[in-house]
Structure 1
Amino acid sequence: MAEGRRWEAMEFDCLVNIFQRLGIEELTLGVPFVCKSWYRASLDPICWKVLNFQELDFMPWSNFSKRFMRQYSLHHFSFSGFMKLAINRSHGDVVELRFPLLFGASLKDLVHASDRCPILKIAVLPKLMLEDEEHIPELVGKWKDLEQLEMESKPSSFSEIATQISLNCQSFNGLRMFGSIKKEDVLAITKSLPKIKYLCLSRSYLCKKELLAIVDGCKELEKLIVNDCVGFEADEEVLKRASTITTFEHNGSKLYVDFGYDTDDCDLHYVHVI
């Protein structure tokens, strides 16, 4: 054992192969400080192709933020600065980018990612201020290789986003968002994204007529997830029309909210109730 190979002597490509499977926290606060060879391997762009910022807490008082400032001798820490560091290390090769859900991301961060991640395939966008949502279509349209888009809520510019995807993202096949899904939203999906294969609208207000319009208009759907929605029940007609979809999940969806209000009109107010 004393004559065995040491970890730091492992081939560079082997180290990179291992490190690319690690999360961002380990790549910044763990392996770089083991030895010089591990540090050099951790900087390889392959290790930074998938950036999942949702795994971390970017609050100023979080353990991660404090550890990062202490490890790198910083007096200030921000998500924007950390994101730029990670994207720079990717050398433009990021294929999956997941913004944090609750804190830190801004329109400027999305603009930076749109410019510096040209081959992005999977994007999970942050919730922006209402006045910033109008910029999302232009930014999304830059990702020519985009395949999947996830949004924490339905932006006011969704119709324009769908149009830009249709014009620029030829490999697009998956969408996830929630909100009040109205007639104009369904038209945007069926007109601009008719070949979509995966669609998740869970926790939305979704009327039966709009659900059926999606089922009828998106003939290539393979997976439709509408769990915990308000506005429809999976009755015999719904199940029959959706029978051609390989996976149709509708657990917890109901026609009305618990206090007994029943309607066929989508109303954003009731989305916040569930």
Structure 2
Amino acid sequence: MKNKKGWEEMDMDCLVNIFQRLGLEDLTIGVPFVCKSWHQASLDPLCWRVLDLEPLDFMPWSKFTKRFMMHYSVHHFSFTGFMRLVAMRSHGSAIELRFPLLFGASMHDLFYASSECPGLKKVVMPNLLLEDEVHIPELVAKWKELELLEIQSKPASFLEMVAQISLNCENFVGLRMLGSIKKDDALAIVRLLPKVKYLCFDKSYLPKEQLLMLMDGCKELERFSVKDCIGFEADEEVMKKGLGIKFFECEGSKLFDDSGYDTDECDPLYVHVI
């Protein structure tokens, strides 16, 4: 009977092919500590093309944080330090970066990521302080390959952000955002993002006028999700126009909220709690 090879003796390319399917927890505190060959394979930049920070618990008392500190023999753990570690290991090859929405990454973290990961195609932004939102257009302009952007709430700099995407991100096709979608916002999307194929404004304030403007003006739109919105009803006109979009989702949307309140000045924070 021939001796079978152990996992540690697998071809390096095979190991890399397997490890690039793993999440960041496994890549940082799992496979590198199994054996030398696994550690070497885990450092291949191909394993770090998707930097998904969302599922990790970065609180000081979390199991993940404690294991990381133990494995790397460090006495202090920081989100910034961890993010820089995984960004550096990508060696500029990362194409997707997902920040945790609620943990509170800083604008410094975002600018560092834009420098270390210039080829990002998909970015999920964290919640930012109001004073930091002014920097979003400058930040987005650095990602020349950007195709998809998810942002938790519409920033005050939204119009300038769209302008910078138009000028710098020729492959941009998708936006996911929550907020109050005003006429100027819809016009900017129609005029400056003509190639957009995916829009998601679930749980936003979206009047019918802006909804129809987007449906008529975004000629290449393939998926449009406006579920649980306030500002329009799925009447015959809306549904008829929706037939021209491959995937149109508007379940749960209504003209007024439960108190009958409806205004163009609707605060996005108000929409959050509906």
Percent of aligned pairs with the same amino acid: 64
Instruction: Please give the per-residue CA displacement for 1:24-82, whole angstroms capped at 9, x wherever unaligned.
Output: 00001110110000000000000000000001011112111111111111111011100
Partner of 2:134: 134
AA partner of residue 142 (structure 1): K
In structure 2, how many angstroms separate the alpha carbons of the residues matched to 1:70 and 1:154? Answer: 39
The secondary structure found in structure 2 opposite 1:224 is strand
Instruction: Please give the per-residue CA displacement for 1:85-110, whole angstroms capped at 9, x wherever unaligned.
Output: 00110101110000011114110000
Partner of 1:240: 240
What pairs with 1:197-212 in structure 2 (closer than 5 Å)? Answer: 197-212=197-212
AA partner of residue 231 (structure 1): G
Structure 1 residue runs of 5 or longer lacking an equivalent are: none
In structure 1, how many angstroms separate the alpha carbons of the residues matched to 2:104 and 2:69? Answer: 16
- Are the counterparts in 1 of residues 98 and 124 from structure 2 also a CA contact under 8 Å? yes
In structure 2, how many angstroms separate the alpha carbons of the residues matched to 1:265 and 1:41? Answer: 54
Q: TM-score normalised to the size of structure 1?
A: 0.97
The secondary structure found in structure 2 opposite 1:69 is helix
Moved more, 179-188 or 164-173: 179-188
Partner of 1:119: 119
Tell me how far 1:243 sits from its aligned partner.
Answer: 1.8
What pairs with 1:82-231 in structure 2 (closer than 5 Å)? Answer: 82-231=82-231
Tell me how far 1:196 sits from its aligned partner.
Answer: 0.4
- Are the counterparts in 2 of residues 15 and 38 from structure 1 also a CA contact under 8 Å? yes
In structure 2, how many angstroms separate the alpha carbons of the residues matched to 1:19 and 1:272? Answer: 38
In structure 2, how many angstroms separate the alpha carbons of the residues matched to 1:82 and 1:97? Answer: 13
- Are the counterparts in 1 of residues 104 and 128 from structure 2 also a CA contact under 8 Å? no
Q: TM-score normalised to the size of structure 2?
A: 0.97
- Are the counterparts in 2 of residues 207 and 266 from structure 1 also a CA contact under 8 Å? no
In structure 1, how many angstroms separate the alpha carbons of the residues matched to 2:270 and 2:86? Answer: 39
AA partner of residue 239 (structure 1): M
In structure 2, how many angstroms separate the alpha carbons of the residues matched to 1:264 and 1:206? Answer: 10
In structure 2, how many angstroms separate the alpha carbons of the residues matched to 1:91 and 1:52? Answer: 16
Structure 2 residue runs of 5 or longer lacking an equivalent are: none
AA partner of residue 216 (structure 1): D
The secondary structure found in structure 2 opposite 1:39 is helix
Partner of 2:60: 60
In structure 1, how many angstroms separate the alpha carbons of the residues matched to 2:75 and 2:122? Answer: 33
Instruction: Please give the per-residue CA displacement for 1:230-270, whole angstroms capped at 9, x wherever unaligned.
Output: 11111001111222111100011111111233x35351164
AA partner of residue 157 (structure 1): S
Partner of 2:266: 267
Partner of 1:72: 72
AA partner of residue 237 (structure 1): E
In structure 2, how many angstroms separate the alpha carbons of the residues matched to 1:23 and 1:127? Answer: 22
In structure 1, how many angstroms separate the alpha carbons of the residues matched to 2:273 and 2:51? Answer: 32
In structure 2, how many angstroms separate the alpha carbons of the residues matched to 1:63 and 1:100? Answer: 17
Partner of 1:42: 42
Q: CA RMSD in A?
A: 1.2
- Are the counterparts in 2 of residues 78 and 104 from structure 1 also a CA contact under 8 Å? no
Aligned residues: 273
AA partner of residue 76 (structure 1): H
Stretches (4+) displaced over 4 A: none
The secondary structure found in structure 1 opposite 2:13 is helix
The secondary structure found in structure 2 opposite 1:181 is coil
The secondary structure found in structure 2 opposite 1:186 is helix
AA partner of residue 162 (structure 1): V
- Are the counterparts in 2 of residues 205 and 266 from structure 1 also a CA contact under 8 Å? no
- Are the counterparts in 1 of residues 121 and 147 from structure 2 also a CA contact under 8 Å? yes
Partner of 2:249: 249
Tell me how far 1:194 sits from its aligned partner.
Answer: 2.1
